Amino acid sequence: MGDVFHDGELDVQRQAGVREQAERVGRVVQSILPPGVNEHLRELPFVVVGGQDDAGRCWATLVAGEPGFASGPYPNRVELDAPPLPNDPLLAGLSDGTPVGLLAINAMNRARLRVNGPAECVTDMGFAVRVNEAYGNCPKYIQQRQVTYDALGSEPGQPRVTDALTDAHRSLIERADTFFIASSHEQRGADVSHRGGMPGFVRVDDGGRLVWPDYAGNNLFQTLGNLAIDPQAGLLFLNFESRGLLQLTGRVRVDWDAELARRLPGAQRVFTFEPQAVVDRTGVLPLTTQGCSYSPHNPPAGGGSL
């Protein structure tokens, strides 16, 4: 493959003072799947998918199925043999060649794999992703829990679409210990990644904006690099109580002010996300969960006023 990093990633790495470390770590990014990854994929009850819709808005969503629905039968391809969930704002318009990011995360063993590339062989029953980039991430900030595929027994409710958060949305977000963020780059395509912390690590301010700390990671800065070029992002929160998904699309600002970061424990930078559209889908999530062991790497939530 060519240069591992695009201009946005390089700029962020320089600003963070980690160019040398990123160059070393960047060797893990390959244009084929890592050895043995098919076993990892076949254990999963869901994968997270990110990308842009026809209007250029970023969304994060998921595809779920009985373990075995996801596989990597070839070094340059991941296959997903499951249909999109009803009324999905991203996958409803998916077609061959659409750039997507895929996050294959196993919450029980805290293993995760990122795969980015174009969609292929799109049908009503699934699609494949051709591998442009593939690499594993460390287990930091992943909460250990048992997630099980559990097919829905009734018709899901109609999606509720708003341009701002409700009190119920705010409550879900501020209780969350995990969410997913999708971003995109015009040449390199889409990406989706995981964010985790103690409940309360994401706040909603008085203006309805989401604020969360950026913790120390692998120094590749794929998400921040994309956002440095294009601030459009999509967020996904899972609601296991309502079997629902809360999806937001909007714009992100990354604040590098050290004084602001010090107000949030463990923060190196601070994200502020302004929603432009909110899609609340209840009764669509065919997953159940039990047990939760918080990551030992999680800083405490809370801190001073922002």
pLDDT in tens, 192-218: 999 999 999 999 999 999 999 999 999
Per the domain annotation, does 30 fall within a domain?
yes
Q: How much is the pTM?
A: 0.97
Give the tokens for residue 197: 């912390």
For the domain that residue 29 is a member of, what is the CATH number?
A: 2.30.110.10
Per the domain annotation, does 302 fall within a domain?
no
**Cα(183)–Cα(185) distance, rounded to whole angstroms?**
7
pLDDT in tens, 55-100: 999 999 999 999 999 999 999 999 999 999 999 999 988 999 999 9
- 44 in Cβ contact with 104 (< 8 Å): yes
- List alpha helices for 26-166, DSSP H: 37-42
Per the domain annotation, does 121 fall within a domain?
yes
Per the domain annotation, does 299 fall within a domain?
no
Per the domain annotation, does 294 fall within a domain?
no
In the chain, how many domains are there?
1
Per the domain annotation, does 50 fall within a domain?
yes
- List alpha helices for 144-266, DSSP H: 167-175, 222-229, 258-262
The rounded mean pLDDT for the chain is: 95
- 255 in Cβ contact with 213 (< 8 Å): no
Please determine, for residue 126, whether its predicted confidence score (pLDDT) is greater than 70: yes
pLDDT in tens, 152-194: 877 888 899 999 999 999 999 999 999 999 999 999 999 999 9
Range of the domain at 88: 7-289
Per the domain annotation, does 306 fall within a domain?
no
Per the domain annotation, does 297 fall within a domain?
no
